[in-house]
């Protein structure tokens, strides 16, 4: 798995900071899947359709659904002047290993503008990844989070995954699209497939989601990364528990990460973790029971004293 422990630790600290600051309002979000159940609106590749899709994303978050939002589109003029075909695979981020995470939000009046690149609007995977990240940015902005500009994209994606949009973003980490030079692998996210898979696995375990629901929507590249990420997360159950219950303990990033254990080793760790979380509860005695116990104890003491 091409993910260093330092990178993983930074991502965990960001996830913890978001959970610590907004956990009460986020709660345990639904695992939003790319299906008609979650996105029932008709989509006809026009501005109104994208606007409805954005509203649908907002409806799954703590954001006020009456928050003024204005949708806008922009085009990469350099790519257009160079004769690019305008597809997702053309322009910056068209090659594998590079990212073309486009889209941004801007403050307008008493609300925000959500700006979408026209190249992403025609592809459902890149469009939904763009909107998920934009909603993450909106939550950070409305929550008053101060994030460095260079970190905003990655942190917004972590926030979006904390909101339940992990599958949407993981799909956007490796998109095969046709461009001028043929089929190319495009990445529509700031985070890599390995980094995104790690966060999806971490939030999925913390929220108690069924991981089979995640995998059924993934392509081969994402499934491989997700399986490895899940092995790493399952080898660190304490991190999962702290992210869920006491995220403030993880914010500083000062914690130890264990390497992935064997399958049997992970089963043992999880069993111990579950037992530790559910201690046997002592049944409270009624006043009548306490009195009977006291009388019985007095009779025993009297009998022992007379022997």
SS (H, E, C) 156-186: HHHHHHHCCCHHHHHHCCCEEEEECCEEEEE
Q: Please check whether residue 240 is in contact with residue 206, taking contact to mean a CB–CB distance below 8 angstroms.
A: yes
Q: Please check whether residue 133 is in contact with residue 166, taking contact to mean a CB–CB distance below 8 angstroms.
A: no
Q: Please check whether residue 103 is in contact with residue 133, taking contact to mean a CB–CB distance below 8 angstroms.
A: yes
Q: Among residues 149, 232, 154, 161, which one has the least CA distance to residue 187? A: 154
pLDDT tens over the chain, length 307 residues: 567 778 889 999 999 999 999 999 999 999 999 999 999 999 988 999 999 999 999 999 999 989 999 999 998 765 544 445 555 555 554 443 456 688 899 999 889 999 999 989 989 999 999 999 999 999 999 999 999 999 999 999 999 999 999 999 999 999 986 666 666 788 999 999 999 999 999 999 999 999 999 999 999 999 999 999 999 999 999 999 999 999 999 998 888 888 887 655 665 555 444 333 333 334 455 666 566 656 656 654 565 554 4
In whole angstroms, give the CA distance from residue 295 to residue 107.
74
């Amino acid at each position: 798995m091409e993910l260093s422990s330092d990178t993983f630790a930074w991502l965990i600290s960001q996830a913890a900071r978001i959970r610590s600051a907004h956990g009460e309002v986020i709660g345990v979000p639904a695992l939003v899947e790319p299906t008609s159940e979650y996105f029932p609106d008709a989509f006809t590749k026009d501005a109104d359709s994208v606007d409805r899709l954005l509203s649908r994303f907002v409806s799954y978050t703590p954001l006020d659904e009456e928050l003024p939002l204005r949708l806008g589109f922009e085009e990469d003029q350099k790519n257009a002047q160079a004769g690019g075909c305008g597809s997702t695979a053309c322009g910056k981020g068209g090659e594998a290993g590079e990212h073309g995470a486009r889209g941004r939000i801007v403050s307008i009046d008493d609300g925000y503008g959500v700006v979408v690149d026209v190249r992403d609007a025609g592809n459902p995977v890149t469009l939904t990844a763009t909107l998920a990240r934009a909603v993450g940015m909106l939550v950070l902005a409305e929550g008053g989070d101060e994030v460095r500009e260079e970190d905003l994209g990655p942190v917004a994606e972590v926030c979006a995954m904390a909101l339940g949009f992990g599958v949407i973003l993981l799909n956007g980490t490796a998109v095969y699209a046709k461009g001028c030079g043929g089929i190319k692998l495009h990445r529509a996210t700031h985070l890599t497939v390995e980094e995104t898979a790690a966060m999806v696995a971490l939030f999925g375990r913390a929220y108690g989601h069924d991981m089979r629901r995640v995998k059924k929507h993934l392509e081969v590249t994402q499934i491989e990364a997700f399986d490895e990420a899940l092995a790493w997360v399952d080898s660190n159950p304490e991190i999962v528990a702290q992210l869920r219950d006491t995220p403030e303990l993880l914010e500083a990033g000062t914690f130890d990460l264990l390497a992935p254990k064997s399958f049997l080793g992970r089963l043992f760790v999880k069993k111990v973790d579950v037992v530790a979380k559910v201690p046997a509860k002592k049944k409270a005695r009624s006043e009548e029971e306490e009195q009977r116990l006291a009388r019985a104890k007095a009779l025993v003491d009297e009998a022992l004293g007379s022997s």
